[in-house]
Amino acid sequence: MKTTTTYAISYPEAGDHTRTWEYWQAIATKVDDLLAGRAAPLTVANDITVGDPASGTERVFRATRLNGGVVLAAKYRVQASGGGGGQGTIASFQIDEDGIEAAQLNYRRDGQLFMKSGGAAGVSRLVPFASWCGFVTVNGVAAVTVGATVTFPANRFTQVPALVGIAKDTNLNVGFSAGATAASMPFGLRAITGTSIPTVDVSLMALQMTPGATQG
């Protein structure tokens, strides 16, 4: 059972002013203990709002610790880029070392993720917007070619993804056919030598880089 600490703070009755300073001192001491971590972990059983929704001033939620003489800080904030709450508005998670930016993970309001390393002057890199990886078993045929279709998870992609595939047979080539959609993609196998294709698994990986484009 987890041990918790509860503060019961007395307060003076109306009209009783003789010990007011003692009550304030007790309250201040207990608040100081909480903020300094001397008493118990602070648990808030409600939502916490950091910043003023009526203000454009940026506010940061920050967690810090000392590690090997280096002050580490993890910061979360909302950053606005562009007017009118446009696509540039991002939520940013940042790691600092001794007050200097080390890395960032940024989430844009259209769902795109970016990773940034190398500090404030570092390079921001796209994280693929959507991806899928899996295997499709193609039944063998007494022919040089055979077709199949891979169906992606529902609503995984918003654009036709780029698909890469390889058969688990060194005598087979994989090709992709017309008719691809964001939901499925036809492909085919061709025997390099011989006149038949065995039952074989095909490894496939599909990528969509941004919400509006396959490439990026």
pLDDT digits (tens, 9 = 90+) for 115-165: 988 887 788 888 999 999 999 999 999 999 999 999 999 999 999 999 999
pTM over 0.85: no
Query: Could you give the domains of the chain?
Result: 1-43 (no CATH), 61-127 (no CATH), 130-208 (2.60.40.2080)
* DSSP designation for 21: H
**Gap between the Cα atoms of 28 and 7, Å rounded:** 12
Percent of the residues in the chain that have a pLDDT greater than 90, as a whole number: 51
Phi-psi region of 27 (alpha: psi -120 to 50; beta: other; left: phi over 0): alpha
CA nearest neighbour of 187 among 138, 139, 149? 149
Helix (H) or strand (E) holding 32: helix 20-36
Strand partners, 123: 117
* Helix, strand, coil tally for the chain in percent (to 5): 10, 45, 50
Query: Which backbone phi and psi does 204 adopt, to 5 degrees?
Result: -130, 145
pLDDT tens digit sequence for 52-97: 888 888 889 999 999 999 999 999 988 776 544 455 668 889 999 9
Q: What are phi and psi of 3, to 5 degrees?
A: -80, 135
Name the phi and psi angles at 175, rounded to 5.
Answer: -130, 160
Q: How far apart are CA 163 and CA 184, in angstroms?
A: 10
**Please, which residues have CB within 8 angstroms of residue 42's CB and are 6 or more apart in sequence?**
34, 35
Cite the beta strand spans of the chain per DSSP E.
Answer: 61-67, 70-79, 90-97, 100-108, 113-117, 123-127, 130-138, 145-151, 162-167, 172-176, 184-191, 200-208
Each residue of 161-205: pLDDT tens digit?
999 999 999 999 999 988 999 999 999 999 999 999 999 999 999
